[in-house]
Amino acid sequence: MNRHILLAEIMHESNTFNRIPTVRADFDARYYLTGDAVADTLRDTNTEICGVLEAARDYGWKVTHPLAASASPSGPMAGKDWEDVKQIILAPLRAGEKFDAVFLVLHGSMVVQTCDDAEGQLLAAVRALTGPDVPIVATLDMHANVSVQMVENATMMMAYRTYPHVDQYIRGQHMMSLLKRVLNENLRVENHFVRKPMMDAANHGQTGEGPMLGLLEMADRMEAHPDVLCASIQIGFPWSDVADIGPSVLISGIASGHDTCRKCAAELMEAVWETRHTTQLDFATPDDAISEALNGKTGDKPLILADFADNPAGGAYGDSPNLLRAMLEAGLENAAYATISDPVAVALAADAGVGQTVALNLGGHGAPSITPPLAINAQVIRLTDGGFICDGPMWEGVHFSMGKTAVVRVAGIEIVISSVPVAVMDKQVFFSVGIDPASKTTIGLKSRNHFRAAYEPLARQVMLVDAGGIASMKLASLPFQKIPRPIWPLDAV
């Protein structure tokens, strides 16, 4: 049967401790697409949108796609820009177009200056326009802070199952298969939602190894039951001071299987709760990292030092030079670091020109009390526009931009300075500026786990380093005010 669905994406993860608001222009570093540009640009990419569009084509369904927008994690979105985004998504419904279903691609941890539960607000607005009978489904990032308002207004929601997140396309396709079944069989779906008082779990959801794999196997067994459509585990996003913080479980099932689905939700959440002590809270210091780096020899595979406490993928400023400072003070040779976000430094390097030496007061502007600027004299070795297409596997085929970018050299270290905060998830961060990461003895980069899919295969060792920043796992150091208390690990629970 021919169907007509409304498809829209608004993807943003908000660190409420980042004091710089996210605005419309910040989406340009990834994408902000309307109308025909949605399908034209995201075709052949590892994205939910691509998965949904290909499934719709196979089903013979018509798709209206007013907006697909994704921005790097950062501070809460400006209220006016959020209202503009909502209007674009809601416009086809307000114009009276009839849809058999609505498919939203969301993060699940989006905060705006005027609302702590942006996605719940959006889902409620969509539901008010569709009425109670039109299915509304959504895909979520694994690190969603899911609210009751989201659950009450969605027919089904489904989180990623990989971290690094390499299954966006797969999850888009899978949700479409469930939506097709709901529509064709006219199923009545119930959601069973459970959360416990915790801020993180299962080692933040890492799926290369660890307890998350066992939780997903448990979810698989539940989904094999005929009454269960989807067993979704959300690990949550701990750097967001909101009432709905933390890991949760959502079981979407056939209404006639109410008791089975309720039991599954309780059992799965209890299993998530039991993994809380596997979550790593203490990490290597810069001194630890340097001690290991000094063991490196010419010809070794690179040691990867992940500067995760200032990770832009956690909404941090991405401008801390603390780990880089330690690398320079140790006199490391054949090393590289990416990225320090500092548009002023990029401009100074560009004014000086390739081959020239420039004095820079690098980074440290977002949180100078914990990540002060670094004074260096550096040789400018390359200037670029900062654009690249991801090799993947995460975001494969998607165009990213670092903004105007400079590569400078100080002693034995090449430093990538970007104009916008960039989490290093793809090797093209280095390749696009003329650096072969596999040739380096030591690499420092801003990331927590997403880098692993691309970089772990070329590394001799990986170390997560807490060099200070607003995405540190030292959660007690952050000024939470809105989260429910008591809550693990801040309190005895």
When pLDDT is averaged across residues 76-81 and rounded to a whole number, the result is 98
| CA pair distance 276, 286, nearest whole angstrom | 26
| CA pair distance 247, 201, nearest whole angstrom | 7
Question: Could you give the C-alpha distances from 224 to 155, 159, 162, 228, 264, in angstroms and in order?
Answer: 20, 17, 19, 7, 12
| CA pair distance 437, 259, nearest whole angstrom | 53
The pLDDT of residue 1 is 76
Share of the chain above pLDDT 70, in %: 100
The pLDDT of residue 191 is 98
The H or E element that residue 326 is part of is helix 322-329
Helix (H, G, I), strand (E, B) or coil at 410: strand
Residue 429 pLDDT more than 80?
yes
Two tokens, residue 315: 């909404």
| CA pair distance 244, 440, nearest whole angstrom | 42
When pLDDT is averaged across residues 441-456 and rounded to a whole number, the result is 97
The pLDDT of residue 493 is 85
Cα 98 → chain centroid:
32
User: Could you report the per-residue pLDDT of 2-27, keeping only the tens digit for each?
Assistant: 999 999 999 999 999 999 999 999 99
Q: pLDDT tier at 85 (50, 70, 90 boundaries)?
A: very high
Question: Could you give the C-alpha distances from 368 to 20, 292, 342, in angstroms and in order?
Answer: 14, 27, 13
For every residue of 264-289, DSSP letters joined together read HHHHHHHHHHHTGGGS----B-HHHH
When pLDDT is averaged across residues 80-93 and rounded to a whole number, the result is 98
When pLDDT is averaged across residues 276-282 and rounded to a whole number, the result is 91
Residue 134 pLDDT more than 80?
yes
Strand partners, 10: 69, 106
Mean pLDDT lowest among 141-150, 292-301, 374-383: 292-301
Cα-based angle 124, 174, 211 (whole degrees, multiple of 5):
90
